[in-house]
Amino acid sequence: MVVCAAKFQQVPDPMTEYFKPIPFELFKTDKKAFGDALCQSFRETGFAVVSGHTVDQGIIDRNLDATKAFFALPDATKLAYDGRAGGGQRGYTAFGTENAKGNAHADLKEFWHTGRDLPDDSPYRDTMADTPSVSEIPEFDDATRALFAALDEMGREILEGVALHLGLAENWFDDKVNFGNSILRLLHYPPQQTPPPEGTVRAGAHEDINVITLLLGAEEAGLQALHRSGEWLDVNPPAGALVINCGDMLQRLTGGVLPSTTHRVLNPSPERAKFPRYSTPFFLHFNQDYLIEALPGCVAEGGKAQPAITAQDYLMERLREIGLVKA
């Protein structure tokens, strides 16, 4: 029987200790110990910070250069890549389009989505569109695809640790995410030359839809996670570290043993308001036909099972909630 690992002792106060970086070197020497450390942090906060990751810095830098070049294009040029017809899953989504579930105010951001390249005969082509090619920036396509591939592989390794923590074979996730509708999001929070409208933030309080999120570029202050105590925790990783958080799909799979935590991005302090913020989350998804249902061992541990649902149906349900797909 699949089992979830025994509960860990709670991480002590102060709350700033919750996000102590976990060295990725531990993954190379003891995957189970790495997975246990990672999931101990997940269990408490839904977030973890990993230092010493293996994503090549040159790939990261080239993607950032391409990101800045794209968002510097005229609005009319960017809108030629408008992805709203496909639920914002590929291409460009303009400033002020997306809002967090239950939030009346749109987020103060614009973004680009690069998706998985599929073979011509893939059965997933009906619901997974190709990513538009950006002709104005010759290096854009290669730079974004390279980072997608690097974070996709990094995510697969992270899930090996999660699997071992849950008492599963280390490759348990492999054939469930290998053709997933994963997305590389290039995020731009423009400078705020004047105070933003009351009630608006760069990204409203929300949870991620997917399995896990891998986030680069979180060094700029503003990211906060909501602890179950009701306190908002600042997530301020050291330079070069990777922030990872559980998504709703992993929460559903584990019956809430690994929780998907509400998080937000606050407006900058006055001295930082005139600077743009860029970050690059990678949303790792299950294959669209994977049926998400709670692992028996996690239910035995106290997790709560919800009705089984395919990853695609769950994705569309959530996209309607945040306004990217119209009901």
Please give the structure tokens belonging to residue 282: 């990678």
Query: Is residue 68 in some structural domain?
Result: yes
Q: Is residue 9 part of a domain?
A: no
The amino acid sitting at 192 is: Q
Query: pLDDT of 126-176, one tens digit each?
Result: 889 999 999 999 999 999 999 999 999 999 999 999 999 999 999 999 999
Please state, rounded to an integer, the average pLDDT across all residues of the chain.
88
Asked whether residue 5 is assigned to any structural domain, the reply reads no
User: Which letter does DSSP use for residue 256 in this model?
Assistant: T
Give me the phi and psi of 245, to 5 degrees please.
-135, 155
The two three-digit tokens of residue 194, written as one number: 């004047």
Query: With b meaning 16 or more CB within 10 Å and e meaning fewer, what string describes 143-179?
Result: bbbbbbebbbebbebbbbbbbbbbbbebebbeebbeb
Summarised one tens digit per residue, pLDDT across range 274-316 is: 888 899 999 999 999 999 999 999 999 999 999 999 999 999 9
The range of the structural domain enclosing residue 171 comes to 15-321
- Asked if pLDDT for residue 263 goes beyond 70, the answer is yes
> Looking at the domain assignment, is residue 131 inside a domain?
yes
* Domain annotation covers residue 327: no
Residue 307 falls inside a structural domain:
yes
List, for residues 38-80, the tens digit of each pLDDT value: 999 999 999 999 999 999 999 999 999 999 999 999 999 999 9
Residue 218 binned pLDDT confidence (cut-offs 50, 70, 90): low
Helix axes 140-165, 31-45, angle to 10 degrees: 90
326 is a domain residue: no
**Amino acid at site 271:** E
State how beta strands 22-23 and 47-51 pair: parallel
The verdict on residue 85 lying in a domain is yes
C-alpha distances in Å from residue 83, one per residue of 15, 166, 233: 39, 37, 33
Domain count, the chain: 1
3-state secondary structure of 201: coil
- Pairwise CA distance, residues 122 & 179, whole Å: 9
What's the CATH number where 180 sits?
2.60.120.330
User: Strand runs (DSSP E) across 3-156, as ranges?
Assistant: 22-23, 47-51, 91-93, 110-115
Give residue 192's pLDDT: 75
Higher pLDDT, 320 or 249: 249
pLDDT (average), residues 225-231? 91
